[in-house]
Chains A and B, each alone.
Chain A
Amino acid sequence: MKVVPSRSSEWVRPVTSQEPASVIIEIDRVSQVFQTSARKDHVALSDISLTIDDGAFVSILGPSGCGKSTLLYIVGGFVTPTSGSAKIKGRPITGPGPDRGPVFQEFALFPWKTVLGNVMYGPRQQGMRPSEAEAQSRALIEMVGLKGYENFYPKELSGGMKQRVALARTLAYHPEVLLMDEPFGALDAHTRTRLQNDLLNIWERDRKTVLFVTHSVDEAVFLSDKVVMMSKSPGRIRQVIDIDLPRPRRRNELLLDSRYQKYVVDIERMFDEVEETGSPS
């Protein structure tokens, strides 16, 4: 039997927030153990505790295989943790729901639906009238830069285009919390920057809560209020860094801002440390 460490990580601070009602997601001592094919226990996540404020943009950063996706799946309700609990608005998460919209690393588009059909799927499921759903979806498709591709099937799109459809499909049903798993991973630098800006604009307008997994340190700093640094084997939270940069953020201004640069340099150094100390359990 695997012994799950019971001490909570040192970074956990007592909740001092004046308005505890503003917490939307609470992850409480969550551990996830997988059975590998060799019948050995593999600890993917160990003793993760994290609270996310309503409307916050939180990035999760860490080496490959440290359990970032798994953590996202637990919040999404797709995976039930081996121990510990996750709550949304005080209610335990027991399964998926339209209040949490995932954008998967693998896109997971519906291949039998066109781009428009994919984006309209959620709103239609939610009972929106077809004409309204279509108008709204067309606007979203335009926003992610795919105007003219409405009637293309996923197999006819490039990796980056698929990723943008996946983003639009999730935004279309207005989840309160966005769970994004490296949503810009497959994009070229230019499109990536554009979509980062678009995402920030949407976020600054709607103030959705975003849980955002990424490999990229500057992306995390540029977008987030908080960066959660994870380490590997087993996956733990190493540190939570508050990003104290003014909003709205403009990329061209930030790149020249010494505070931004310091965040990036510090976090990159931390990333290197984390990657070196990680060893297979």
Chain B
Amino acid sequence: MMSLAALAKRAAPVFACIGLLAAWQAASFALKNDSFPTAIEAIRAIPDILGDKEALINILASLRRMAIGFGVAVMVSIPLGLLMGRSRAVAAFFNPLLMVIYPVPKAALMPIIMLWLGVGDVTKTLVIFLGVSLPVIYHSFEGAKAVEEKMLWSGAAMGLSPAQRLVRIVLPAALPEILTGCRTGLVLALISMITSEMIARQSGAGNILFNALDMGQYDTVYAMIIIVGAMGICLDAIFERVRARLVRWSEPQFDLPLSFS
């Protein structure tokens, strides 16, 4: 049996969504503006989009780029961040580079990347990769730096080599922090995905959205926003589930996780 409090906690995000949609509905009624469809009109347009083969292919292509960009970024950034956190030399080598890249909006690099690599998948995936890399590197770095030295000493006394210590002590010890970075990275992957498709229009969810905007199909625009938003919420919720399972050992006993699971 779920207690009433637990039930309320689970239902809270649903109520939040309903509340948001209701406010939208009321606002669009009040404004009576052609470019601001009601929530119901927007929701009605969703099945049309999802039923359209062309649109579906576009959305799946977007997701594919996002998955590749995110996956490659995580696989490169975690080892790099951990090494930087444990080695002064590695940190000193990469720090200047990252400090320059960090504040630059990755989308602003797109025109240059497009010049070199064209408007295809590679460019868009690269932008996603760049967007995800920095928070994951940063959090892996911070996590590795904070690993208690005596823990590494304990491992060394048991006979672990430096490489083994990095994989079997630094990695698990820094995992909570790493996953925090990955969660930020996941949301940034979605943002970069849409942004890249907005700049290099050719295919993808962002392309559908902005084409519809050009053609004045406002309910499709809003429906796409809902679809993209829902995708973000679902991805985040799934990730949060996995994260919570992986780092159960580090979670404080009673806290309200910031998530929609």
Contacts and interface: CB of A to CB of B under 8 A. Distances in A.
Interface of A: 73, 76, 78, 95-98, 100-102, 104, 106, 108-113, 121-122, 125-126, 153-155, 169-170, 173, 175
Interface in B7-48: none
Interface residues of B, number: 18
Nearest to B252: A155
Contacts of B173: 110-112
Contact of B157 (A76, A110, A111, A113): A76
Contact of A108 (B148, B160, B172, B249): B148
A175 B158 CA distance: 9
Interface of B: 148, 150-151, 153-154, 156-160, 169, 172-173, 175, 247-250
Contacts, number: 61
Contact of B158 (A98, A111, A113): A98
Main secondary structure, interface of A, reads loop
Contact of A104 (B153, B158, B159, B248): B153
A104 to B, nearest CB: 5
Given A106-B148, A110-B169, A96 B157 contact: yes
Given A78-B156, A97-B159, A169-B154, 17 more contacts: A76-B157, A78-B153, A97-B157, A102-B157, A104-B154, A108-B148, A110-B151, A110-B169, A111-B250, A112-B175, A112-B250, A113-B249, A121-B158, A125-B160, A154-B249, A155-B249, A173-B158
Nearest to B169: A110
Contacts of A169: 154
Given A110-B169, A111-B250, A112-B175, A175 B151 contact: no
Contact of B249 (A96, A104, A125, A153): A153
Nearest to B251: A155
B157 A108 contact: no
A125 B153 contact: no
Contacts of B151: 108-110
Nearest to A100: B157
A78 B150 CA distance: 9
Contacts of A108: 148, 150-151, 153-154
- 4 closest Cβ pairs, A-B complex: A108-B150, A96-B156, A122-B158, A112-B172
Contact of A98 (B159, B169, B175, B249): B159
A112 B249 contact: yes
A41 B20 CA distance: 63
Contacts of B160: 125
A104 B175 contact: no
A104 B157 CA distance: 12
